[in-house]
Amino acid sequence: MSNVKWTGGVEHWTHKKTPEGDIKLFLWEKKASTKVPHAGTIFFVHGSSMASQPTFDLHVPGRAYSSAMDWFSEHGFDTWTMDNEGYGRSDKHRDINFDISNGADDLAAGSEYIMKKTGAPSLLLYGISSGALKAGLFAERHPERVGKIALDAFVWTGEGSHTLEQRKKKLPEFLAKNRRAIDRPFVHSIFQRDHPDTVEQRVVEAFADAILTLDDSMPTGTYVDMCSKLPLLDPKKLTVPTLILRGEYDGIAGMDDLIDYFRLLPNMNKQFSVMRGISHASFQQKNYMMVYQILHSFFTMPEPSYKG
């Protein structure tokens, strides 16, 4: 394993109660810059194959703001992320596969901790891939804790998802065990499957170093859910302002599937953004600064004064 260090943030720990006892969950915070007006509190939610810090606090020499947490904290946001149970520094000992619903339970525990710690009246939620599913399910269950939500590389029914079509071929393997091994070639495959030219190789290597510092295996639960149990969310139950982000080349997120979901969202404060030249892992792409700008615009947009 590599030896990546994370600096400039504050580590926190909270607990989630389960029938088997308390589960320790790791949270990572980077505070808002005091040089600009405070803009809110963002809670970033990671996906199926990497923990939180590699995804949202990545550092690549010579690539400014590879850390989304750094960029958003400089723009006035308190930024938080958390390792779901089964990932990174959080507990991994339970004999379960750590599925989407379990991840939403983690977000309930994490959000409660963040809101008590900071006094934030609500959170700005961003989830990517299976993290978008966890974030969406959490927002269905606890809308009072969510000011706005952004769902990136999201999937609803799975219709039109080329990546999931391929992944389903391995469903018996995922059902047979709670964890799957990962290595550097696996991390490379995340970027090679859709459109390899959307990412710089040095970023892939730094991402792999960061991921493999924390884990050599990942839970199978989110893969099982996305291959065999969709849809897990009901758009009519997502009542908060919502942004759907879809990379132009993303093999997970079928365009028609997302538009059908978007159409049914009841809150008319909603946006759908197609991101040019981006595949699946948007914060690691060549066009990552565009993603930050889209997200920043949504999170800072004033509440409509007239609603009809």
| Average pLDDT value over all residues in the chain | 97
**DSSP letter at 32?**
P
Peptide bond into 266 cis (omega under 30): no
User: What is the predicted pLDDT for the residue at 41?
Assistant: 98
Q: Tokens 């170093």 appear where?
A: 209
Average pLDDT over residues 116-142: 98
Q: What is the mean pLDDT of residues 21-29?
A: 98
Residue 16: DSSP 8-state: E
Please calculate the CA angle 25-26-32 and round it to the nearest 5 degrees: 130
Please report the beta strands in 83-219, taking only residues with DSSP state E, as ranges in sequence order. 123-128, 146-152, 179-181, 217-219
C-beta separation of 173 from 223 below 8 A = no
Q: Which residue has the tokens 């018996």?
A: 172
pLDDT at 270 over 80: yes
pLDDT the model gives residue 253? 87
pLDDT tens per residue across span 232-242: 999 999 999 99
Are the beta carbons of 177 and 249 closer than 8 angstroms?
Answer: no
Structure tokens at 5: 């260090």
Task: Please compute the mean of the pLDDT values over residues 119-130 and round it to a whole number.
Answer: 98
| pLDDT tens per residue across span 39-88 | 999 999 999 999 999 999 999 999 999 999 999 999 999 999 999 999 99
Question: By the 8 A CB rule, do 177 and 215 touch?
Answer: no
Instruction: Choose among 57, 55, 58: nearest CA to 46.
Output: 55
Task: Give residue 2's pLDDT.
Answer: 59
- To 5 degrees, how large is the angle CA 279–CA 289–CA 56? 75
According to the model, what pLDDT value does residue 147 have? 98
C-alpha distances (whole Å) from 273 to each of 40, 245, 305 are: 22, 5, 23
Q: Facing residues of 81 across strands?
A: 28, 44
Average pLDDT over residues 298-306: 96
> Phi and psi dihedrals of 31, rounded to 5?
-80, 155
Q: What percentage of the chain exceeds 90 in pLDDT?
A: 97
Query: Is residue 303 pLDDT above 70, yes or no?
Result: yes
Could you give the CA distance from residue 245 to residue 282 in angstroms, rounded to a whole number? 9
pLDDT digits over 133-175, tens only? 999 999 999 999 999 999 999 999 999 999 999 999 999 999 9
CATH topology of domain 10-300: Rossmann fold (3.40.50)
Nearest to 150 by CA among 282, 265, 295: 295
Q: What average pLDDT does range 87-99 have in this prediction?
A: 98
Using pLDDT thresholds of 50, 70 and 90, give the confidence band for residue 3: confident
